[in-house]
Amino acid sequence: MDNEKHTILIVDDDPEIRRLVGDVLRKEGFGIEQAMSGRDMDAVLERVKPDAVVLDLMLPGEDGLSICRRLRADDTLPILFLSARGDEVDRVVGLEIGADDYIVKPFAPREFVARVRALLRRSGQGRQPVYSRRFSFEGFLADLDARQLYTDDDQVVALTSAEFDLFSCFILRPRRVLSREQILDWTNRDAANPLQDRRVDILIGRLRKKLAAAHPQGNFITTVRNSGYLFTARVKQIS
């Protein structure tokens, strides 16, 4: 990571958790904003543009799932759920509605910071490469360094950081069957975690929907039974 100070917004109704998370992040050089509810979060967002949100699942009033869905409706802000609820169903639901990562309380501070840094790095807020990588395929232009996907009429296809990681994995390896294990490896995910297979499937579904919404005639990602997934488009590197 470079020396730019990133700001993390912590949304949690427990003041002790906010203090603990804030202290951990401040020690690593992050700027901190805090909110105890969805309403407080909205007030913060009116004056600050954070680089990522650490969001509790159980909140008074509007819960974390609703807040995540609302944020995801018109923003690609990286979202990490931090919750005491560690059931697979809760994790899956959080990922399906657009969260980029999910960590369970209590957490190891070192792992938590690593997950936040990885989230920022994947969202393109880390150090940028010195060369450009731009690709075209069937009505789309992808700029991997800017982490943007455009339609041929210059409309942005809004992808979350996790979705863009997956998309980049495919765009760099088109017309090649990729197993879940390969995808997890190339997107820096923990292949040893059994929940990650489900995570790949969820992200595939989200990416398919967004590509289909932008190009209804396209069917870019196919499932190869017992093998993995195939990005079917012919990809051309243009710079």
Parse the chain into domains and list their residue ranges: 7-122, 134-237
**230 close to 128: Cβ distance less than 8 angstroms:** no
Are 11 and 54 in contact by the 8 Å Cβ rule? The answer is: yes
Would the pLDDT of 103 be above 60? yes
pLDDT band at 23 (very low <50, low <70, confident <90, very high): very high
The structure tokens 């297979």 sit at: 197
* Chain Cα centroid distance, residue 56: 16
134-237: what CATH class?
A: mainly alpha
Residues 119-130: pLDDT tens digits? 888 776 544 443
Mean pLDDT of 46-65: 92
- In our burial notation (b when 16+ CB lie closer than 10 A, e otherwise), range 38-64 reads bebbeebbeeeebbbbbbbbebeeeeb
80 phi and psi, to 5 degrees? -120, 120
Dihedral sign computed on CA atoms, order 203, 206, 208, 210:
negative
CB neighbours of residue 70 within 10 Å: 16
What is the structure's pLDDT at 179?
Answer: 92
Q: What is the pLDDT of residue 126?
A: 46
**Domain 7-122 in CATH 3.40.50.2300:** yes
Average pLDDT over residues 156-167: 91
Cβ contact 52:123 at 8 Å: yes
pLDDT of residue 106: 84
**What is the rounded average pLDDT for all residues in the chain?**
86
**Among 12-16, 57-61, 183-187, where is mean pLDDT lowest?**
183-187
pLDDT at 127: 41
Residues 119-145, mean pLDDT to the nearest whole number:
73
The confidence score (pLDDT) of residue 124 equals 62
